[in-house]
Structure 1
Amino acid sequence: MALEIDPSDFKNLAVSVQDEGVCTVTLNRPAKRNALDIDTIEELIQFFSRAPRAGVRAVVLAGAGDHFCAGLDLIEHHNADRSPADFMHVCMRWHEAFNKMEYGGVPIIAALQGAVVGGGLELASAAHVRVMDETAYVALPEGQRGLFTGGGATIRVTDLVGKARTIDMMLTGRVYRGQEAINLGFAQYLVAGSSHDVALELARKAAENLPLSNFAICSAVSHMQNMSAFDAAYAEAVLAGVVNTQPESRARLAAFADKTAARVRPKA
């Protein structure tokens, strides 16, 4: 499948097109532990603005080298000596990027290793599925650096692990890793080998779904969490009416009806 994405358009992201409409997007500043400067944020906005209309069916989000992302590029922030208004607008661009990820309707599988801290955890929490390897660790160290989160930790990280735990992490710099991180909800998968390999496998599986079904899953759930239960039930019913009657689903329903579709069973 030819995708309308040109990898040469990106400098701080390494974009590669896999098969079946899957793209790998890799933060490509390993010497900086893939810290997020404003240029990288702008490239994330650019890619995830295009992806839904470019034939991208799933994305693996990764980091080059030993770390996924160490958060805000503190050297850039220090050297820029921004005004309050300037930094507010930087934060708004972070929110633009992460909103396009969470609400864009394309499944994003994050492959996590090494540092997933500060803005890196905010970035990971904007993905739909997170896979950690045994080196990955998560933290929100902003409080110890005289800072406050500006990329959505108060929203998405709190959604994952709760208000009390988020506040504790901010106040104390507490670090989580391994099975404890999984149990608390920071990620859905913990693997002994390559998080990237497992993320790619999951992305390929998600890409087999009908795009409209994936769009609903990867946008509507988040939207509905922002609604009252009454309004969410109405929106869910309307969306189900659209998705569950799409012409492309007829063959899949027929396969279920004639018992040729794969059955849902636990792994042995």
Structure 2
Amino acid sequence: MTEDYVTYRLEGAIALVGLNRPEKRNAINETVISQLRDAVLRAHEEADVGVLHAHGPNFSAGLDLAEALARATGQPPRKRRRHSWHEVFDLVARGPIPWVAALQGAVVGGGLELATAAHVRVCDESAFFGLPEGQRGIFVGGGGTVRIQRVVGYSAMTDMMLTGRLLDAAEAERANLVRYVVPAGQALDKAMELAAKVASNTPDTNWKIVNVLPRVNDLSHDDGLFMEYLTLSMPRPPEAAQRLRDFLEARATPLVPSSHQSGEAS
């Protein structure tokens, strides 16, 4: 019987998908990848926003090294490999709904690659981030050369891989690996708060943000502006017009910088 290495829970419009190998620091193997794929696809059907989190004190220590060693020594896998990390992480990064990641403890190697597939990342003060593959004789394989490098830049990623440097929560925030840092034990609560805010947007707007923006980033200046024009010209749902009316008639919540309020703006 296969263990539940990934949990799934639906709370209103939010799907919570949790890594569940705490005794292995949530190391990622092929069973985790397969179950994660199933959970993410389910969230696409049932939810407006997803939250990635992990059970136990660590988000993920990355690749299951026992499985990696078996491959390195030519031992065949016990069963045929079903899904690649690239495919599954792209279902998060470029699927139909936004994802918020709640991070704590180890967020290293493949765990960091998974975290950067999410669109918004929150960590608590216990979190630390690294790419130790260089010290283990291997290379990143979960899309990190694309996603992590675009977040932190070539120089920072090269340093992390060559030296094995670990970044604490404050350093990760400065490097743009995370956008929010909260006290220990509060990452999931903050992620849920942000997910609820994201869920209050129209699904059409959220889809455009998580699918058009990263593709514009891949284009030239002129092509990016053209894609923006095409996106703006797409038909809008009736809800968009109602929201504009609400704002013009002062029924919408006024925009206030977060530093000037006790809670987040709607």
Q: TM-score scaled to structure 2, two decimals? A: 0.90
CA offsets 1:158-189 (integer angstroms, 9 cap, x no match): 11111011011111100001222101111000
199-208 vs 224-233, greater mean Cα deviation: 224-233
Instruction: Give the aligned partner of residue 200 of structure 1.
Output: 192
Q: Distance in 2 between matches of 1:80 and 1:142?
A: 15
Residues 211 and 84 of structure 1, relative CA distance in 2, 3 Å threshold: farther
29-38 vs 229-238, greater mean Cα deviation: 229-238
3-state SS of 2:84 partner: helix
Whether 2:143 is the aligned partner of 1:130: answer no
* 8 A contact 2:17–2:40 mirrored in 1: no
Whether 2:32 is the aligned partner of 1:40: answer yes
Q: Distance in 1 between matches of 2:169 and 2:83?
A: 32
Once the two structures are superposed, the pairs formed by residues 6-21 of structure 1 within 5 Å of their partners are: 11-19=4-12, 21=13
Instruction: Give the aligned residue type for 2:240.
Output: S
Q: Distance in 1 between matches of 2:38 and 2:194?
A: 24
Residues 84 and 215 of structure 1, relative CA distance in 2, 3 Å threshold: farther
* 8 A contact 2:59–2:105 mirrored in 1: yes
* 8 A contact 1:110–1:124 mirrored in 2: yes
2:87 to 82, 90, 96: 96
Q: Distance in 1 between matches of 2:46 and 2:9?
A: 14
3-state SS of 1:242 partner: coil
Instruction: Give the aligned partner of residue 6 of structure 1.
Output: none
Q: Distance in 2 between matches of 1:174 and 1:84?
A: 31
* 8 A contact 1:48–1:104 mirrored in 2: no
Residues 261 and 39 of structure 1, relative CA distance in 2, 3 Å threshold: same
* 8 A contact 2:15–2:43 mirrored in 1: no
Instruction: Give the aligned partner of residue 214 of structure 1.
Output: 206
State the 1:44 CA deviation.
Answer: 2.0
Instruction: Give the aligned partner of residue 157 of structure 2.
Output: 166
Specify which structure has the higher proportion of helix: 1
Q: Distance in 2 between matches of 1:14 and 1:50?
A: 12
What fraction of aligned residue pairs are identical, expressed as a percent?
39
Instruction: Give the aligned residue type for 1:182.
Output: E
Residues 107 and 131 of structure 1, relative CA distance in 2, 3 Å threshold: same
Q: Distance in 1 between matches of 2:128 and 2:82?
A: 24
Instruction: Give the aligned partner of residue 254 of structure 2.
Output: 263
Q: Distance in 1 between matches of 2:249 and 2:159?
A: 53
Whether 2:70 is the aligned partner of 1:79: answer yes
3-state SS of 2:112 partner: helix
Q: TM-score scaled to structure 1, two decimals? A: 0.89
Residues 34 and 85 of structure 1, relative CA distance in 2, 3 Å threshold: same
Q: Distance in 1 between matches of 2:222 and 2:91?
A: 26
Instruction: Give the aligned partner of residue 48 of structure 2.
Output: 57
Unpaired runs of 5+ residues, structure 1, are 1-8
3-state SS of 1:160 partner: helix
Instruction: Give the aligned partner of residue 154 of structure 1.
Output: 145
Residues 180 and 81 of structure 1, relative CA distance in 2, 3 Å threshold: closer
